A and B are shown apart, each in its own frame.
Chain A
Amino acid sequence: MKFVDEYRDPVAAKRVLATIRELAGTERHYKFMEVCGGHTHTIYRHGIEHVLPQNVELVHGPGCPVCVIPMGRIDDAIAVAETPNVIFTSFGDMMRVPGGNGTLLEAKARGADVRFVYSPLDALKIAVDNPERDVVFFAVGFETTAPSTAVTLIKARDDGVMNFSVFSNHVTIVPPIKAILDSPDLRLDGFLGPGHVSTVVGNHPYRFVTHDYGKPLVTAGFEPLDILQAIAMLLRQIDEGRCEVENQYTRIVRDEGNPRALKYLAEVFELRPHFEWRGLGFIAQSALKLRDDFAAWDAELKFSVPGVRVADPKACQCGEVLKGVIKPWECKVFGTACTPETPIGTCMVSSEGACAAYYNFGRLHREAAVTLGRASIPVTSA
């Protein structure tokens, strides 16, 4: 794996860390939010928090698609799944998320026909293979996965598969970033922009962060060195008095995104007036519903969806974790009542959730820091 060595190169990591130390100085505290759950995972997996100077703090954002789904939507999903004649299909992650009325996995145990799928196209195939059944796909995810659902729906329409429908819970990345910037809870100095969402939407949608809020944003990749480089780029912008959208992940992300994927999204979906987010409450125009042209494949129109609102359990602080207000280990039930085996909140369910990432890897911080190039050894000033 000669390629990989380059990204885990202790010397390179040490060099970037030296730059970070130099730019961060000691006078001021910097707080950056990584929007994407994949970044959170890398940060905990590699002990990045451990090697940064103490005055450079990372807080975790809302970019975990499983985590932000409110409990009521899970109950709605279960209600559809328990409708006679339905085959309900879902990504594995969503099966274990508790709603007010248990999980999809528990609904399956009670007799509902709930099946894992890897791709929305697999759900469509189940519909083709079972023409006498109603097959519903539980669609979740940001703009990374929404184009896949869009292409699947276009195929369902073109092939005339009428026993297939989608329960759309797709969300968009910009509104929660704006909600966090508008929230009085948190003072941030900049953002690590999400990597794979940006392959679809590009870098232009983030301009409001710099233009309207005066915060720099750097789109970042998922390797430890990517994260470190992006932090250095944020600090350099601040040091030089710049405030821009920059792209660290140029290997994959283009400024204009993927126009083809955006075209499919626009053809199939439109913005909902409002959508409830776990922890962030209702956010206007933050989620995607099917356009009228696709009404025949819209599970929310085809089935009776209760549309219940369920408050999070009192003990659960996923909302505050998702807004970056508290760290996972500061939650009252973290690691005691709430573990990956018996999750109370969504952040403990998904591998991209901050709590699961910290629970699984946080304890390895020290060891990981050493692997990352003995980078925790203070860099002596030359």
Chain B
Amino acid sequence: MCLGIPGQLVELDADNDQLARVEVAGVRRIINIGLLEDEILEKGDWVLIHVGFAMSKIDEEEAAVALASLKLMGSGLDDEMEMLRGTAS
């Protein structure tokens, strides 16, 4: 839960500025972006997601590195993706 998973913003919620749709390794789900209210977030930006919340804005390079690390973590990525998929929307 502490490692985080990178996702790319595909859509900001026009009705709720706390929410955005992200794509994480091919899976889309809604996450909360309220903790990054002080950042300027746009479609296409990458964020590091912990337990359904964007915790840091990252660049594409960092996103690729973080995803590769999770893939190396044995079941790390599988577990994250399974949980994420279970609640995808």
Contacts and interface: CB of A to CB of B under 8 A. Distances in A.
Interface of A: 1, 3-4, 6-7, 36-38, 41-42, 45, 63, 65, 91-93, 116-122, 140-142, 144-145, 147-148, 151, 196-197, 199-200, 222-223, 251-252, 258-261, 264, 351-352, 360-361
29 contacts: A1-B68, A6-B61, A38-B2, A41-B73, A63-B2, A91-B1, A92-B79, A93-B1, A118-B83, A118-B84, A119-B51, A119-B52, A142-B2, A144-B50, A148-B35, A148-B51, A148-B52, A148-B53, A151-B53, A199-B48, A200-B55, A222-B3, A222-B66, A251-B62, A252-B48, A252-B62, A258-B55, A259-B38, A360-B74
Contacts, number: 123
Given A223-B69, A264-B35, A119 B3 contact: no
B83 A196 contact: no
A25 to B, nearest CB: 32
Interface of B: 1-4, 32, 34-38, 48, 50-53, 55-56, 58-62, 64-66, 68-69, 72-76, 79, 83-84, 86-87
B1 A45 contact: no
Nearest to A226: B65
A290 B74 CA distance: 35
Nearest to B53: A148
B23 to A, nearest CB: 16
B55 A116 contact: no
Nearest to B35: A261
B61 to A, nearest CB: 4
Given A116-B83, A122-B52, 11 more contacts: A38-B3, A42-B69, A120-B52, A148-B51, A196-B48, A197-B2, A252-B62, A260-B34, A351-B76, A352-B2, A352-B3
